[in-house]
Amino acid sequence: MYHFFVEKEQIDEVNKQLFIDGDNYNHMINVLRMVKGEEFSVSVKDGDGKEYRYAVEEIKDKMVIGTLLFIKEPDVELPSKIYLFQGLPKADKMELIIQKAVELGAYEIIPVATKRAVVKLDEKKAKNKISRWQSISEAAAKQSKRAIIPKVSMPMTFGEAIKRASEMDVRLIPYELAEGMDKTRQLISEVKAGESIAIFIGPEGGFDDREIEKAIENGVIPITMGRRILRTETAGFTILSWLMYHLEGQKS
């Protein structure tokens, strides 16, 4: 079943109808070839995370009119909010990272300008990138039937990222000199439902030693990803997968 995100104003609660136009209309009719009677689900952007199940009632004037079948309480989101602080990588790697992070349950992706990051974004470039990255997040949220569209924030410095993460309950940073896997396993197993989690992932060249020191000084705990050195995109997927496996099914 196909899933879409809509604005609250598109829902007529009194008459139990939904009105879809624009890009979603084009996707439904010209790409997916949906027809009258076909069921689909929607979530409201920045809404309560509920899933609204509709059936196509009518297609006219570049508008799909849906009839409400039922409302389902959300059960697809992880019981903890995971914030991925991602060191800016080269080329199109960020697009892949955002797509997979959304699929794996990340709540927000925060690009971070680190010392060894090759990519440098000025304000204009950053705004253009964020617009593109946010659309990728929305597409991934649709595909994986998320109840929310994870936000992709404006890039920030490493210092700003550390300050932002100070608000969170659990703060982890993969580091090749961290203690063995037993310690990492213990830290992951101690994460509780309802806790906010900050994950720091370095760019291709990894974090600078001073950045690691600054992170540790501010309560970010180093963890190991195993005996092999992982690429920046693989490291993020790995720890998100560990957390998803641990948290899935827990209740806050």
Beta bridge partners of residue 52, listed in sequence order: 42, 71
Interior CA angle at 6 toward 22 and 16, to 5°? Answer: 105
End-to-end CA, the chain = 28
Would you state the structure tokens that stand for residue 116, as one six-digit string? 């060894």
Same domain, residue pair 220 and 120: yes
Same domain, residue pair 32 and 62: yes
Would you state the structure tokens that stand for residue 90, as one six-digit string? 């080269």
pLDDT digits (tens, 9 = 90+) for 95-117: 999 999 999 999 999 999 998 88
Same domain, residue pair 55 and 115: no
Q: Which of 24, 31, 98 is nearest to 62 (CA)?
A: 24
Same domain, residue pair 120 and 202: yes
Beta bridge partners of residue 198, listed in sequence order: 83, 171
Q: DSSP code of 37?
A: T
Same domain, residue pair 88 and 26: no
CA distance 53 to 76: 15
Task: Please report, as a single letter, which amino acid is at residue 1.
Answer: M
Q: What is the CATH number of the domain that holds 34?
A: 2.40.240.20
Same domain, residue pair 174 and 95: yes
pLDDT digits (tens, 9 = 90+) for 185-237: 999 999 999 999 999 999 988 899 999 999 999 999 999 888 888 899 999 99
Same domain, residue pair 226 and 194: yes
How many structural domains are present in the chain?
A: 2
- 63: containing domain: 3-72
> Model's pTM, two decimal places?
0.86
CA distance 93 to 235: 13
Same domain, residue pair 61 and 90: no
Q: What is the CATH number of the domain that holds 198?
A: 3.40.1280.10
